[in-house]
Structure 1
């Protein structure tokens, strides 16, 4: 029964996207943007800055699909005697967006794999290897118009127990804000 309710909710959201008033002049676009955030939880990193690049196609006037990548840099911090190293995230993700109206509120997510890059070790004074990556998610909610998107996001790479050291869990995630500029590619 719970799955039926979730399926009906998803169908309702998609139907709202189909009948929304999103402009049909711009079906394909490249989104280029930047974001900043504070690490959550903050065991091994403190903050993040990133650049985003995505391609989006409006399947219906209010529903977009595409691909997303970019680079987010997480700044390592000292914790429980560990000198944690910086780490970078390069996502390879699917982009999903819902636009209820031509301008205004929107929401969506990026889902895929986040490649972790940087030093091979979690901390400069540790022998524990940094994981190579994991499941990547970046839900966001924000405001949009024809040219710009302004949003609040949560970005996370799930690495399981890889990279964990006694006294801290290995975490790569943040809550932040960002913006992107839409470059139209036509219909």
Structure 2
């Protein structure tokens, strides 16, 4: 039921953005997208799949600031007898983007805190607790036009030594690709 309420809220935000859209300079926008990646290092996870939602305001034509969140699911894997559980990341981050030209190459990063959700234990055959979260970093580089962004990203939640089992460090990070659609919110 909670997931249904969140989906309805997201649909309402997207609809409101589309209804209030203006064909002006598009300085305010909602970015909705998805990403897929390979876990690095691949000690406790194999791959990731996620959705992104962000608000961006173009402070100048070439520089954007905003807030970003979403959900990325990391698929756990077995590692030398350790049956690692899946884990999810919900970031709360500041969004920074640099657009050298109106269309073309861009780069930027999301910086903030990544909340880890899912099973309380690192592995199904372990008593070691999963960390609650850590510093979140997501640099990306890509191509953009008025409507779309296509990018390569690195996503990482730094948890320190929390969640370590024997010789396996607890890592939540990936290198991946993604896209986002820009929904204009007017001036």
Partner of 2:77: 77
Q: Is the 8 A contact 1:24 1:61 kept in 2?
A: no
Structure 1, unaligned stretches of length 5 or more? 1-22
Partner of 2:17: none
Q: Distance in 2 between matches of 1:104 and 1:24?
A: 20
SS class of match (1:49) = strand
Q: Is the 8 A contact 2:87 2:116 kept in 1?
A: yes
Deviation per residue, 1:55-107 (Å, 9 max, x gap): 00000010000000000000000001000000000000000000000000000
Q: Is the 8 A contact 2:135 2:157 kept in 1?
A: yes
Q: Is the 8 A contact 1:153 1:178 kept in 2?
A: yes
Q: Is the 8 A contact 2:93 2:136 kept in 1?
A: yes
Give the superposition deviation at 1:167: 2.2
Give the superposition deviation at 1:182: 0.0
Q: Distance in 2 between matches of 1:38 and 1:24?
A: 39
SS class of match (2:185) = strand
Structure 2, unaligned stretches of length 5 or more? 1-22
Tell me whether 1:105 sits opposite 2:109 in the alignment: no
Q: Distance in 1 between matches of 2:82 and 2:128?
A: 11
What is the count of residue pairs matched by the alignment? 165
SS class of match (1:186) = coil
Q: TM-score by structure 2 length?
A: 0.87
1:152-167 equivalences in 2 (<5 Å) = 152-167=152-167
CA RMSD after TM alignment = 1.0
Q: TM-score by structure 1 length?
A: 0.87
Partner of 1:186: 186
Q: Is the 8 A contact 2:24 2:186 kept in 1?
A: no
Partner of 1:146: 146
